[in-house]
């Protein structure tokens, strides 16, 4: 766990993600990545040379027209003494029942981001920490290439001028497998997604493709990540 948290610290310092006085909202979905992110930032907060405040925000799409049970996450926030905000929404109803989206992930992500940004601002946060990790970087790059013909990826830091808020991604040096292992070893709570599209997305296809390619091209993921860092892609 210490090594993994040090990787989070390295990403923060390398890209200057945190400054003195920051009020950071951790986007807490209840999944493994955001739960680990909250835990890691709480540990880093204890010794980092920059002083910052942490809050946790969950946007609940309310799948199956019911509130998601985040009680385990709420207990973790209480234990860590981190303020926790749950924003209940009707996203699932809009996307699946009203609009009946065949490819719901993109619209859902955009709408959730908008709600998250507004909720963070309402809680006086100037930055939002997202749980995108090492694998997400590679997968997003290939998704943009294969589906849109673009050489692009999200940045370690993104400034949204319209909202006057920064998005930071402290987990970009952490692999998904290491995060899963850390969650299990430290018995951190994870809330399984009840989204009907979970596990049947374009991202899942790309994840499997990279796994298959690595059987022929060892260390492909590390090489791909390195290529992104050495590229002219904005923010890298």
Domain of residue 123 covers 2-230
Higher pLDDT, 131 or 67: 131
**What's this model's pTM, rounded to 2 decimal places?**
0.92
What total of structural domains would you count in the chain? Answer: 1
Within a domain: residue 169?
Answer: yes
Domain with residue 46: its CATH number is 3.40.50.620
Q: Residues near 189 by Cβ (< 8 Å), separated by ≥ 6?
A: 30, 35, 72, 73, 75, 76
pLDDT at 212 over 80: yes
Within a domain: residue 236?
Answer: no
pLDDT at 124 over 80: yes
Within a domain: residue 235?
Answer: no
pLDDT of residue 61: 83
pLDDT at 82 over 70: yes
Q: In what order do the strands lie in the sheet with 165-168?
A: 83-88, 52-60, 22-27, 127-129, 165-168, 157-160
pLDDT of residue 90: 79
Segment 35-55 shows an average pLDDT of: 96
Residues of the chain with pLDDT > 90, as a percent, come to 77
> According to DSSP H, which parts of the chain are helical?
2-14, 32-45, 71-80, 91-92, 104-122, 134-143, 176-185, 202-213, 220-230
């Amino acid at each position: 766990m210490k090594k993994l948290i040090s990787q989070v610290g390295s990403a923060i310092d390398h890209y200057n993600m945190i400054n003195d006085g920051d009020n950071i909202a951790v986007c807490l979905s209840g999944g493994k990545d955001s739960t680990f992110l909250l835990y890691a930032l709480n540990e880093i907060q204890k010794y980092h040379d920059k002083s910052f405040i942490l809050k946790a925000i969950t946007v609940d799409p309310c799948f199956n027209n019911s509130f998601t049970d985040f009680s385990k996450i709420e207990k973790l926030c209480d234990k860590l003494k981190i303020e926790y905000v749950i924003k209940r929404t009707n996203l699932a109803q809009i996307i699946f029942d009203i609009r009946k989206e065949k490819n719901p992930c993109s619209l859902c992500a955009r709408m959730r981001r908008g709600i998250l940004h507004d909720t963070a601002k309402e809680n006086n946060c100037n930055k939002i920490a997202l749980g995108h990790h090492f694998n997400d970087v590679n997968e997003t790059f290939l998704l943009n290439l294969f589906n849109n013909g673009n050489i692009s990826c999200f940045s370690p830091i993104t400034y949204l001028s319209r909202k006057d808020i920064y998005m930071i991604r402290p987990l970009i040096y952490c692999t998904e497998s290491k995060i899963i292992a850390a969650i299990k070893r430290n018995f951190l709570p994870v809330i399984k997604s009840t989204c009907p599209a979970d596990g049947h997305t374009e991202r899942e296809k790309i994840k499997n493709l990279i796994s298959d390619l690595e059987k022929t091209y060892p260390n492909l993921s590390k090489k791909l990540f390195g290529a992104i860092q050495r590229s002219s892609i904005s923010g890298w």
